[in-house]
Chains A and B, each alone.
Chain A
């Protein structure tokens, strides 16, 4: 997802530095950006010049490159142990005035802030996929996030051509607290044999004019991610309305993870 953020920045005339763990991952990132630019060429007119956009992006495995950054958007895996170490390193390398935006859908912004010496300058930015196509971002205010940090975050997003909605730090924020529950309940509908997957999705698309139904969305996000998120909500709220549907667990155990494994509620090439 970091690639999408970098692409959005480069498209709006900014320089972006993509830092990742290995050259192989960075090579995948380059390919992803090429594809992302294709999507822009298809859907956004006037079209952009892909070569020009690409020339503004640097790929590296060296954290030190971030000593030049004026704003950091962190996109690492949703595992606390990994994130914690990343923030410690960022805190040492980045200039003291730099704001850290955590692109997360599950982890508490307040907790992330506590891993740094600058909790007042840590804010959540929950981007939606594909980032360059989505005009809106869910921004999360951690316990220590200051109004100045929020203003910096808003300015940063505005320069990327995006608007934002600011919400308080709470598990799942607004978007995932509702979306994960909706997807989980849609899986219960399948399990209870109330409707087929395609019927569930068509009801959302044709009755509510959603672009995608909940089960297609689950395939896109990845069923393992859905299960992990609903488990986090279950644990955080201690509320059984977030109990994961047994069919969802079974599908994840069977390796039916959606688009990334080629098979979820639907089959993919």
Chain B
């Protein structure tokens, strides 16, 4: 795991203790995420990686797995830079 993935993984495992997530595991289909937690996740990515999440970014596919979130964070960073 790279630095971004490790940070996301550390955040998720705080909420799902005892669960090991693979990079491509779909956290929605595993039943771990309700709407409340999904929002928390969006805020975490915004603050944790200093990116601005716009309305058009709010697609579940961006937040589905650790890998998807890493790709999303990188895309936002390169858009901003």
Contact = CB atoms under 8 A, between A and B. Distances in A.
Nearest to B60: A42
Provide the main secondary structure of the chain A interface.
helix
Contacts of B31: 205-206, 209, 211
Nearest to B11: A269
B36 A35 contact: no
A38 B36 contact: no
Contacts, number: 45
Nearest to B58: A41
B55 interface: yes
A41 B53 CA distance: 12
A38 B52 CA distance: 13
B14 A133 contact: no
Interface residues of A, number: 21
Interface string B1-43: 0000000000100110110000000000001001110111011
B34 A212 contact: yes
A148 B18 CA distance: 53
Contact of A39 (B15, B18, B35, B44): B35
Interface of A: 35, 38-39, 41-43, 47, 50, 129-130, 133, 198, 205-206, 209, 211-212, 220, 266-267, 269
